[in-house]
C-alpha cells in the first residue's frame, strides 16, 4: 500500500466528511429559523387565525384569513403568468434554441433574476396599476409572475438537458417527430426535476413583500374578485413586524410560520399528485 | 392535462372566493404613513362596526408613497408624517387639505454600560453628538447637564434610521432648529447624509443596534418606546426645562403651537413654546382632496373625519399616540366644511 | 423580432426548400418551435420594457449628473448630490462575500445529498432546504439582528482579527454590523438555490459515469469530484448564476445588518450600503422628482452591474472550459 493510496483514501474520507458537514450546516440553519419562528409564533396560532379578519391592535381573536386567501390568489395569478413563459422558454432553450438567440434569452433571464424585487414592483405599478388607476390582485400576481420566470426557465432548461440523449434517439427512431418526442418522452422524464424547481420558485415569491406594496396594495377586509386591492401574508408580516406592538410582533412570527406551512403543504400536495400520476402511468 | 377531481375542487374554491360580491356601498382606499397604520386600522375597523356600509381600506406604503399615490389618483386619501411642500401641492393639480390626526414624539435612548440613570440632553449636546463633535460620553456638554451621573470616557456610537421615515424628519427638523451648523450642513429630510454613525432599518433595527452596541445612542418614536418599555432620556425645551416625553408632554407641544396655527395646518411643532412642551414632537396628517366628486364618498369622508375628531381621539392614548389638543380639534372641525 | 425568426430559422439546414419546411410545419415541429420561441421572446420583451422604464424614469438624474453618477461618493438627498460609487462598492463586496461562503457550502451539501445520503433522507432534506427559500426576507433580517450580529461581534469578528488581523479586510472596530455580516446573511439566503438545483442536476448524472470511474480504482470522492461534478457543471454554474443574481437584488435582510452607511472602507467589518438596500430604504419616502429619478437610476446601475458580473462569470466559465478541453 503506497503512501499515495493512503493519502488518496484520507482525502476521500475528509472531503466526504466535509460535504456531510456542509449539509448539516445548511439544514441546521433551517432548524434554527424554524425553531425561532415556532418559539415566537407557535403559541399564537389557533383556529381564528385561519377564519377571521385581522383585528386592530389590542383586540383578541383576530386572524389573517383574508391574507392567506389573498396570498393564494396572488400565487395562482403568478403561476398562470410565470410558469408557462418559464417552462416553454426552457423548452425552447433546451430543444430548439439557436445559438445566439438562446444566449440573449439566457442572459436576459439572469438579468431579470437580479432586478431587486422593489424595482419589479415599481415596474408592475407603472405598466398595470397606473393605466387602470386600480391596485389589484392581478397587478400583484403579474409582479410575482415576472419574478418566477428566471428560476422556471433555468430549472426547465437544466432538467430537459439532463435527459439522456439515448431516450430521445429511441423515440425519434420509432418515427416520432421532434416535438412529439419532447412532449411525450423528454418532458415527462424531466418532470420531477422541473416540478422541484417550480416549487422552489413558488416558495421564493411567496415570501416577497416589496413587489406587492405598490401593486396588490393591502386590504383590511376580504378582497372580492381579482380586480381589487388584496391583503397578503408577506405584506401583513412586514407591517406587523415593523409595528411598535409586541402583540403584532408575535402575530408576525406566527404568520411567518403559517406561510412556511402553506408552502410546505403546496409542495407535498404537488408531489403526491405527481407520484400518484406516475404510479398510474406505471400500472 | 385532464382535470382530476382535486383540481376541479381547487378551481371551484377559487371561483367562489374570487366571485364573492362586495357588500358595502362605499369603498375608500387610503395609503401612506407607516407610523399611523396601527391607529388608522383601529379607527377604520371601529368605524366599520358603526357604519357597516363604509369600508375604509389602508395600506402603509410610506408617507412619500401616500403623497405620490394621492396625486396620481390611485387612492382616495393620502396619509403623511410630514406636510406636503408648496411644490408638491402645486404639482398635484388639485387642492389638497391637511387634517392632523394624532401626534408623535421622538426621543433619544442609549446603552451605556454601568449607567442606569435617565440622562438629560441639551439640544446642543444632541446636535453635537449627531454632528460627530461630541464623541465621548463624559464630554462636558453631556456631563454638565447630568451632575451626579458617573459617565464613562467611552466612545459614543451614533445610530440613526436608514430607511426614509417621518421619525428622521422630526429628528432632523428639531436639530435644524437648534443648531445652525446642522441646518447648513445636513438639513431636514426623511433621509439625510449623516455626518457620523450606523444606520438601522426601521424602529426595530435602530432599537436592536442600540441594545446590542455598548456606548450607542439612537432615536425612536414615543409609541415604540412606550410599547416596548425602552428607557429614554429627557430633552431640554426652549423654556429651559428638561422634559420627559410622554403622551401629555407631546400633546402640550401641539397646544403650545396652536396659538399661531396656520390655516392649512402645515406646521412644524418641534421646539414649541410652553414650559411642559416636549420639544421633539410632530403631527401626522391625512391628506384629503378638497373636491370629491362621488357624493357617497364625500359624505362618508366628512362623517368619518367628524367621528375621528370626537370619538376617535379617545383611542389614541391606549395605543400610545398623543391625542390632538382641543383648540386644534375645533379648528379642524371648521375645515371639514371645505370638502366639497 | 425579424432578427429572432431569422436566427431561429438558421437552425434548419440552409439548403432546404420551402417544401421541407412545410413538412416539418405540418408534423408540428415548426409550430412547436415558433410557439416556444414566442414565449422565450416575451422574456426579452419584459426585460427590454423594464430597462426602458428605468431609462425614461431616470432621465432627470442622468441629465444632471451624467457619468459623474458612477464616480461620486456623496449621497445627500437634502442638498441634491447623488453619487452611486459607495453603493456599487457595497453591492459587489457583499455579493462576493456571499458567494465565497455559499458556493462551497452549497456545493458540498448538494454533493452529500446527491451522492452519499440515502435517497429518501436526501429527498426530505432537500425539501426542507427548499423551504428556506420561502422564509420572507424581513424574517431573515430580524434573525440577523437578534442572532447573527451578536455572534459576529462576540465570536467571529474577534476570531478573524486574532488570526488574520494582518489583512486590511479584517481590521478596525468590530460592531458586528457591516459588509461581512451582510454577506453572511446573503449567503444563508442564497444557499437553498445552489443546493436545490445542484443536487437535482447531480442526481441525473448517469450511474455509469460514477461506476466507470470507481471500477478504474478512483475513490468515491475522486469519482465525484473529477467525473460527476464536471458532468453536471452546466447546471451547477446555472444555480450559482441564479444565486448571484438573487444576492445582487436582495434588500430587506441585508439592510437590517449592513449598517447602511454610504462610505467606502477596505475593512469588511466596516458598515456599507448596497444599491438594492438604498432603493428599498428611500424610494417610498422620496419626495421630489430628481431624488426619485436618482433612485431609479440606481436601479439601472444595478441592472448594468448584473449585466457586467454575469458577463465576467460567463467568460470565466468559458475560459475554464477551454482549459479543460486543452487538458484532455
The domain spanning residue B151 has which CATH number? 3.40.190.10
Contacts B199 to C, Cβ<8 Å: 259-261, 271, 273
Whether the pLDDT of residue A23 is over 70: the answer is: yes
- Residue B89 distance to chain C (closest CA, Å): 12
* Residue B211 sits at the chain C interface (C-beta within 8 Å): no
Asked if B37 and B114 sit in the same domain, the reply is no
- A135: closest CA of chain C, how far (Å): 16
| Residue B52 and residue B155 in one domain | no
Contact A218 B19 (CB under 8 A): no
Distance between CA atoms of A86 and A90, rounded to whole angstroms? Answer: 6
Confidence of residue C256 (pLDDT cuts 50, 70, 90): confident
CB within 8 Å: C196 and A207: no
- Per the structure, the count of domains in chain B is 2
Contact yes or no for B34 and A239 at CB 8 A: yes
Lowest mean pLDDT among C22-36, C85-99, C284-298: C22-36
Mutate which of B33, B64, B86 to disrupt the C interface (most C C-beta within 10 Å)? B64
**Residue B111 sits in the same domain as residue B163:** yes
Q: Band the pLDDT of C273: cuts 50, 70, 90.
A: very high
Measured between CA atoms, the residue of chain B closest to residue C142 is: B205
Please count the other Cβ atoms lying within 10 Å of the Cβ belonging to residue A43: 11
CB distance B162–C260 less than 8 Å? yes
Instruction: Locate the chain A residue with the closest alpha carbon to B66.
Output: A214
Q: Are A33 and C247 in contact (CB under 8 A)?
A: no
Domain presence at residue B143: yes
Tell me: do B110 and B231 sit in the same domain. yes
CB C313 within 8 A of CB C248: no
Closest A-chain CA to C52? A123
Are A275 and B67 in contact by the 8 Å Cβ rule? The answer is no
- Closest residue of C to A116, CA-based? C249
The set of cell numbers assigned to B169 is 424628519
Domain boundaries, chain A: 3-44, 47-282
Q: What is the CATH number of domain C68-327?
A: 1.10.3720.10
Q: CB–CB of C148/C184 below 8 Å?
A: yes
Query: Does the pLDDT of residue C325 top 70, yes or no?
Result: no
CB-based contact, C142 to chain A, within 8 Å: yes
**Cβ–Cβ below 8 Å for B42 and A213:** no
Residue-wise DSSP of B239-264: TS-EE---HHHHHHHHHHHHTT--TT
More confident residue, A183 or A277: A183
Maximum Cα–Cα distance across chain B:
81
Write down the mean pLDDT value for chain B.
88
Answer whether residue B45 is part of any domain: yes
* Strand-strand pairing, C75-76 and C81-82: antiparallel
Contact B14 A229 (CB under 8 A): no
- Coil, strand, or helix at residue C166? coil
DSSP C240-309: HHHHHHHHHH--HHHHHHSB------S-TTS-B--HHHHHHHHGGG--SHHHHHHHHHHHHHHHHHHHHH
Closest chain C residue to A239, measured at CA: C138
Q: Do A111 and C306 touch (CB under 8 A)?
A: yes
CB-based contact B205 C175, cutoff 8 Å: no
Homologous superfamily assigned to A47-282: MetI-like (1.10.3720.10)
Would you state the pLDDT for residue B2? Answer: 44
Given A222, A224, A244, which is nearest B228 (Cβ)? Answer: A244
Same structural domain for residues B186 and B327?
no
Closest CA to B246 of B267, B232, B261, B228: B232
For the cut 80, the answer to whether the pLDDT of residue A212 exceeds it is: yes
B219 domain residue, yes or no: yes
So what's the pLDDT on residue A1? 62
Kindly state whether residue B83 falls inside one of the protein's structural domains: yes
Q: Which chains touch A (3 or more CB pairs under 8 A)?
A: B, C
B65 shares contact with chain C (CB less than 8 Å)? yes
Q: Coil, strand, or helix at residue B161?
A: strand
Report CB contact under 8 Å: A114, C303: yes
Higher pLDDT, C209 or C85: C85
- Which residues in chain C have their CB less than 8 angstroms from residue B209's CB? 145, 149, 177
**Residue C290 at interface with chain B, using a CB cutoff of 8 Å:** no
Which residue in this structure is represented by grid cell 459617565? B151
Residues in B closer than 8 angstroms to A220, CB to CB, are 41, 44-45, 55-58
Alpha carbon of B111: minimum distance to chain C alpha carbons (Å): 14
Give the sign of the dihedral formed by CA A88, CA A91, CA A97, CA A101. Answer: positive
- Taking the CA of residue C146 and the nearest CA in chain B, the distance in Å comes to 7
Least confident span in A65-69, C124-128, C267-271: C124-128
∠ CA A219-A221-A227 to the nearest 5 degrees?
60
CB distance from C94 to chain B under 8 Å?
A: no
pLDDT one-digit tens code per residue, B17-66: 444 444 447 899 999 988 888 899 999 999 999 999 999 999 888 888 88
* Structural domain boundaries enclosing B301: 26-104+282-338
By C-alpha distance, the chain C residue nearest B186 is: C78
- A-facing residues of C in 59-98 (CB < 8 A) are none
| pLDDT reading at C103 higher than 90 | yes
Same domain? For B109 and B240 the reply is yes
- What's the grid cell of residue B98? 391637511
ipTM of the prediction: 0.85
CA–CA gap between residue C223 and residue C209 (Å, rounded): 8
Instruction: Tell the residue number behind the cell numbers 441594545, with chain if given.
Output: B211
Judgement on whether residues B322 and B198 belong to the same structural domain of the protein:
no
CB atoms within 10 A of CB B202: 27
Average pLDDT of the residues in A172-200: 85
Q: How far apart are CA B129 and CA B147, in angstroms?
A: 19
Say if B215 falls within a structural domain: yes
The answer to whether the Cβ–Cβ distance between B198 and C271 falls below 8 Å is yes
3-state secondary structure of C261: coil
Task: With CA atoms as reference, report the closest residue to A269 among A72, A37, A64, A74.
Answer: A72
Q: Is B302 a domain residue?
A: yes
Residue range A131-138: mean pLDDT, rounded: 90
Query: Which of B227, B228, B312 best probes binding to A when mutated, by most A CB atoms within 10 angstroms?
Result: B227
- C54, C92, C134: best to mutate for the A interface, most A CBs within 10 A: C134
Bridge partners (DSSP) of residue B288 are B97
| Mean of all residue pLDDT scores within chain A | 86
Please answer yes or no on whether A116 and C302 come within 8 Å at the CB atom. yes
Q: Do B170 and B248 fall within a single domain?
A: yes
Contact A114 C299 (CB under 8 A): no
Q: Quick one: pLDDT at residue B172?
A: 95
3-state secondary structure of C76: strand
Higher pLDDT, C282 or C8: C282
- pLDDT tens digits, one per residue of C25-71: 777 788 888 999 999 999 999 999 999 999 998 999 998 888 888 88
The pTM of this model reads 0.84
Q: Show me where the domains of chain C are located.
A: 2-56, 68-327
Task: Say if residue B230 is in the same domain as residue B121.
Answer: yes
Q: Identify whether B171 is part of a domain.
A: yes
Q: Please, are residues C313 and C241 in contact by the beta-carbon 8 Å criterion?
A: yes
Q: Say whether pLDDT at A71 is over 50.
A: yes
Please list the ranges in chain B whose pLDDT falls under 50: 1-3, 12, 14-24
With CB atoms and an 8 Å threshold, state whether B202 touches A242.
yes
Amino acid at each position: 500500500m503506497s503512501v499515495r493510496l493512503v493519502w488518496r483514501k484520507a482525502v476521500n474520507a475528509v472531503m466526504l466528511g466535509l460535504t456531510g458537514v456542509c449539509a448539516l450546516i445548511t439544514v441546521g440553519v433551517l432548524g434554527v429559523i424554524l425553531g425561532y419562528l415556532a418559539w415566537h409564533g407557535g403559541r399564537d396560532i389557533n383556529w381564528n387565525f385561519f377564519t377571521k379578519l385581522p383585528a386592530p391592535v389590542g383586540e383578541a381573536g383576530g386572524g389573517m384569513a383574508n391574507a392567506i386567501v389573498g396570498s393564494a390568489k396572488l400565487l395562482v395569478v403568478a403561476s398562470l403568468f410565470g410558469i408557462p413563459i418559464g417552462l416553454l422558454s426552457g423548452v425552447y432553450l433546451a430543444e430548439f434554441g439557436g445559438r445566439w438567440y438562446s444566449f440573449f434569452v439566457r442572459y436576459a433571464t439572469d438579468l431579470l433574476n437580479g432586478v431587486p424585487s422593489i424595482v419589479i414592483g415599481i415596474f408592475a405599478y407603472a405598466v398595470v396599476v397606473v393605466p387602470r388607476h386600480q391596485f389589484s390582485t392581478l397587478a400583484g400576481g403579474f409582479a410575482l409572475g415576472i419574478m418566477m420566470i428566471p428560476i422556471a426557465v433555468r430549472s426547465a432548461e437544466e432538467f430537459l438537458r439532463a435527459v439522456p440523449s439515448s431516450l430521445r434517439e429511441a423515440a425519434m427512431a420509432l418515427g416520432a417527430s421532434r416535438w412529439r418526442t419532447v412532449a411525450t418522452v423528454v418532458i415527462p422524464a424531466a418532470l420531477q426535476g422541473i416540478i422541484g424547481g417550480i416549487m422552489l420558485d413558488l416558495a421564493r415569491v411567496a415570501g416577497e413583500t416589496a413587489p406587492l406594496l405598490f401593486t396588490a396594495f393591502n386590504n383590511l377586509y376580504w378582497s372580492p374578485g381579482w380586480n381589487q386591492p388584496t391583503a397578503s401574508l408577506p405584506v401583513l408580516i412586514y407591517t406587523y413586524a415593523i409595528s411598535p406592538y409586541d402583540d403584532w410582533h408575535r402575530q408576525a412570527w406566527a404568520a411567518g410560520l403559517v406561510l412556511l406551512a402553506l408552502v410546505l403543504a403546496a409542495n407535498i400536495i404537488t408531489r403526491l399528485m405527481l407520484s400518484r400520476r406516475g404510479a398510474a402511468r406505471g400500472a | 392535462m385532464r382535470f382530476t377531481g382535486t383540481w376541479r375542487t381547487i378551481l371551484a374554491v377559487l371561483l367562489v372566493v374570487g366571485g364573492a360580491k362586495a357588500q358595502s356601498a362605499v369603498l375608500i382606499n387610503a395609503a401612506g404613513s407607516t407610523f399611523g397604520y396601527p391607529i388608522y386600522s383601529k379607527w377604520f375597523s371601529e368605524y366599520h362596526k358603526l357604519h357597516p356600509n363604509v369600508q375604509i381600506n389602508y395600506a402603509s406604503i410610506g408617507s412619500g408613497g401616500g403623497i405620490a399615490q394621492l396625486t396620481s389618483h390611485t387612492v382616495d386619501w393620502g396619509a403623511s408624517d410630514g406636510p406636503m411642500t408648496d411644490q408638491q401641492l402645486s404639482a398635484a393639480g388639485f387642492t389638497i387639505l391637511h387634517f392632523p390626526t394624532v401626534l408623535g414624539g421622538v426621543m433619544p435612548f442609549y446603552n451605556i454600560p454601568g449607567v442606569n440613570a435617565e440622562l438629560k440632553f441639551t439640544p446642543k449636546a444632541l446636535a453635537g453628538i449627531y454632528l460627530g463633535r461630541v464623541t465621548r460620553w463624559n464630554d462636558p456638554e453631556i456631563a454638565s447637564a447630568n451632575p451626579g451621573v458617573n459617565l464613562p470616557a467611552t466612545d459614543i456610537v451614533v445610530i440613526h434610521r436608514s430607511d426614509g421615515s417621518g421619525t428622521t424628519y422630526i429628528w432632523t427638523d428639531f436639530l435644524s432648529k437648534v443648531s445652525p451648523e446642522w441646518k447648513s450642513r445636513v438639513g431636514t429630510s426623511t433621509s439625510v447624509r449623516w455626518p457620523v454613525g450606523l444606520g438601522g432599518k426601521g424602529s426595530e433595527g435602530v432599537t436592536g443596534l442600540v441594545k446590542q452596541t455598548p456606548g450607542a445612542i439612537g432615536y425612536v418614536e414615543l409609541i415604540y418606546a412606550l410599547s416596548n418599555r425602552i428607557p429614554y432620556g429627557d430633552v431640554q425645551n426652549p423654556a429651559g426645562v428638561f422634559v420627559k416625553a410622554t403622551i401629555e408632554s407631546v400633546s402640550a407641544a401641539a397646544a403650545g403651537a396652536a396659538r399661531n396655527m396656520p390655516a392649512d395646518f402645515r406646521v412644524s411643532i418641534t421646539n414649541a413654546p410652553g414650559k411642559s412642551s416636549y420639544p421633539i414632537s410632530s403631527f401626522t396628517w391625512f391628506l384629503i382632496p378638497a373636491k370629491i366628486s362621488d357624493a357617497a364618498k364625500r359624505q362618508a369622508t366628512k362623517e368619518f373625519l367628524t367621528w375621528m375628531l370626537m370619538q376617535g381621539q379617545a383611542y389614541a392614548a391606549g395605543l400610545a399616540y398623543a391625542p390632538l389638543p382641543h383648540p386644534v380639534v375645533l379648528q379642524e372641525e371648521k375645515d371639514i366644511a371645505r370638502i366639497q | 423580432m425579424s432578427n429572432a425568426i431569422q436566427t431561429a430559422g438558421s437552425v434548419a439546414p440552409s439548403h432546404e426548400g420551402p417544401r421541407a419546411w412545410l413538412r416539418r410545419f405540418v408534423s408540428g415541429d415548426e409550430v412547436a418551435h415558433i410557439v416556444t420561441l414566442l414565449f422565450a421572446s416575451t422574456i426579452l420583451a419584459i426585460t427590454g420594457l423594464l430597462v426602458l422604464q428605468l431609462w425614461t424614469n431616470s432621465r432627470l438624474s442622468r441629465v444632471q449628473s451624467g457619468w459623474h453618477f458612477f464616480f461620486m461618493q456623496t449621497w445627500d438627498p437634502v442638498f441634491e448630490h447623488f453619487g452611486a460609487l459607495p453603493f456599487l462598492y457595497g453591492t459587489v463586496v457583499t455579493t462576493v462575500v456571499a458567494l465565497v461562503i455559499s458556493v462551497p457550502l452549497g456545493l458540498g451539501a448538494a454533493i452529500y445529498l446527491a451522492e452519499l445520503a440515502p435517497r429518501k433522507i436526501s429527498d426530505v432534506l432537500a425539501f426542507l432546504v427548499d423551504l428556506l427559500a420561502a422564509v420572507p426576507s424581513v424574517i431573515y433580517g430580524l434573525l440577523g439582528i437578534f442572532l447573527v450580529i451578536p455572534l459576529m461581534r462576540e465570536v467571529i469578528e474577534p476570531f478573524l482579527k486574532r488570526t488574520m488581523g494582518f489583512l486590511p479586510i479584517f481590521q478596525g472596530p468590530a460592531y458586528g454590523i457591516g459588509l461581512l455580516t451582510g454577506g453572511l446573511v446573503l449567503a444563508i439566503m442564497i444557499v437553498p438555490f445552489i443546493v436545490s438545483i445542484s443536487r437535482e442536476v447531480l442526481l441525473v448524472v448517469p450511474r455509469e459515469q460514477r461506476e466507470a470511474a470507481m471500477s478504474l480504482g478512483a475513490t468515491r470522492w475522486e469519482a465525484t469530484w473529477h467525473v460527476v461534478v464536471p458532468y453536471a457543471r452546466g447546471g451547477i454554474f446555472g444555480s450559482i448564476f441564479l444565486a448571484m443574481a438573487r444576492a445582487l437584488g436582495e434588500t430587506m435582510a441585508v439592510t437590517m445588518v449592513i449598517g447602511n452607511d454610504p462610505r467606502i472602507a477596505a475593512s469588511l467589518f466596516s458598515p456599507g450600503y448596497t444599491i438594492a438596500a438604498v432603493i428599498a430604504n428611500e424610494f417610498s419616502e422620496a419626495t421630489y422628482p430628481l431624488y426619485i429619478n436618482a433612485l431609479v437610476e440606481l436601479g439601472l446601475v444595478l441592472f448594468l452591474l448584473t449585466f457586467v458580473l454575469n458577463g465576467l462569470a460567463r467568460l470565466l466559465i468559458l475560459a475554464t472550459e477551454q482549459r479543460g478541453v486543452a487538458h484532455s
